[in-house]
Copies of this chain bind each other. A is one copy, B any other.
């Protein structure tokens, strides 16, 4: 499982990426992340992060009824959110390159 420290700064971008793909709600995001191999991400992690991004202007949200439980809060990327996501992708690749360059030398 991915260490909690290694997730910092990566989780936010990953969640933006999930939301870009389709309209989702918080609880669904935690399931999706698990499916991609992120392991069990606590709801105590996801909800504050979503609220932060919304307050931030990266996301907007809409409440919607559900047939099998309480209301769901669906999220959508704003223009700013899309920009953030692009910056994240560039940043992430840069970081991965730096670490790989470093690790490869010892082979």
**Interface presence of A105 (CB below 8 A):** yes
Is the contact region of chain A dominated by helix, strand, or loop, or is it mixed? helix
The residue that A10 contacts in the complex, of B4, B6, B20, B38, with Cβ under 8 A, is: B6
How many of these chains are in the complex?
A: 2
The residue that A103 contacts in the complex, of B4, B38, B89, with Cβ under 8 A, is: B89
A98: B residues at CB distance < 8 A? 2, 14, 36-38
A7: B residues at CB distance < 8 A? 9, 95
- CB 8 Å contact bits of A70-107 with B (1 = contact, 0 = none): 00000000000000000001011011111101110110
- Tally of chain A residues near chain B (CB < 8 A): 33
Identify 13 new A-B residue pairs, CB closer than 8 A, beyond the known A14-B98, A21-B105, A36-B98: A5-B8, A5-B9, A6-B9, A6-B95, A7-B9, A7-B95, A8-B9, A17-B102, A17-B103, A17-B105, A20-B106, A92-B103, A96-B96
